[in-house]
Structures are given as structure tokens and as C-alpha cells.
With several copies, the nearest count.
Chain A
Amino acid sequence: MDVLLKIETDITIQEALDFIHSPACGGEVVFTGKVRNDTKGRSVDKLYYEAYKDMALLEMQKIADDVARQWDIKKIAMLHAVGDKLPGEVAVVVAVSSVHRGIAFDACEYAIDTLKATVPIWKKEFFSDGEVK
């Protein structure tokens, strides 16, 4: 399984799509998490993402290893943004390609769920009313 891991200020869906592309793979599933303009009804101006980058990349590699053990996935890309992010901007991308589509959905959902649970990245929400949380 080919793996692309990245934690940078700017990430794009396109670089994930480019990485997982393969004429041998019929199915690609891509999850993109974007900054929402509200959280539980409160308007949000921006988010700030901080990462413990070295460890975060190692935890992302563990997720990739778990995916490779569980499913016949050919390629996986996991990208996470850091720094200030405005509503509509890309915060995270998880993309997988495989020969069959069912396992591509399963693997992609597993990877984003696990990323959100274990990878040491933190967000701060800057609400329009001035609160920071």
C-alpha cells in the first residue's frame, strides 16, 4: 500500500486525488473536512489548528498500517492543515483507492474516525461573538 502523509499550512483535495490515482483501482473514496461557519448555531470566524507534528505523523502512519492490515487498499493519503483556517477551507483530507468500492468506504471512514480520535492535533474556535474555545 502506498501512503502519503502530510501536515502543512496548506493542503488541497487535488494532491490527495493525484496521489491515489491508479488505472488498476476502480474505486476511490475521499473524505474532506472543511471549516464550518457555525458550531452548534454560533457563528465562527475561523479555526486555528495546532499539531504535535512529529507524533501526529507517526499516529497517521499507525492508521495507515491498520488500514493495510484490515483491507486490500492500494493507496491512502491523509492530509491535515495547521494554522488559521477560514470557513470553507480544507482542514483534513483522507483519500483511499482500491479495486472494490465497499472496502474503500469502510477504510476511509475508519481512517478519518481514528484520525479524529488519536492524532495529536487541536483546534481552537474563534467565535464571531469574541469567545475563543
Chain B
Amino acid sequence: MNVMLFGVAKDIAGVARMQLPEGIATVGALKAWLLAAYPAFEQLNSLMIAVNKAYAADTQAVTTTDEIAIIPPVSGG
């Protein structure tokens, strides 16, 4: 499963894209894996996941064909 990283999430992971291990089936599981792999994510005020270009709830299923993005706190404007 391939994910895109933006903003400070990209800085923390050091990459703009990463390949996740197999077996991650939901947004919640994906967040748990990220926090375990990169404890610095705990410092963020929020950590959202976008699935197919929309904010996704923790219960949402994810598959390898989805477009997945890590969304740290936004700061536009």
C-alpha cells in the first residue's frame, strides 16, 4: 500500500511517498502503524488520513488501489 505524505508529516518521515507493510485494512490501523513507526507523529495536533482525496474516519477500509495521503494539521491561508 502506497501513501503520500505532506507538510510536517513528510518532514518527520523524510519521504514524500512510502510503501506500507501488508495487512493494514483500515484507516485506524494505518494511523496506529504510523504512530508506532514514527513516534514524532504523536506531537502533532491532529493526524488525518485522506482516502481517495477525502478525509476518512478510522473505521474506513483501505485497499492497495486507494489513493491514500497523510494529512498533518493544515496551515493554508
Name the residue of chain A whose CB is nearest to the CB of B71.
A120
Q: Does A118 contact B (CB under 8 A)?
A: yes
In the assembled complex, B54 has its CB within 8 A of some CB on chain A: yes
Known contacts A52-B6, A55-B69: A91-B53 contact under CB 8 Å: no
CA distance A91 to B72 in the complex (A): 20
With contacts defined as CB atoms under 8 Å apart, how many contacts are there between chain A and chain B in the complex?
56
- Contact residues of A with B, CB < 8 Å? 33, 49-52, 54-56, 58, 80, 91-92, 112, 115-123
Assign chain B's interface to a size class: 10 to 19
Contacting residues of chain B (34-77) with chain A, CB-CB under 8 angstroms = 50, 53-55, 69, 71-72, 74-77
Q: A49-B76, A121-B74 are in contact. List 10 more A-B contacts (CB 8 A).
A: A33-B77, A51-B76, A55-B53, A58-B54, A115-B76, A116-B76, A119-B74, A120-B69, A120-B74, A120-B76
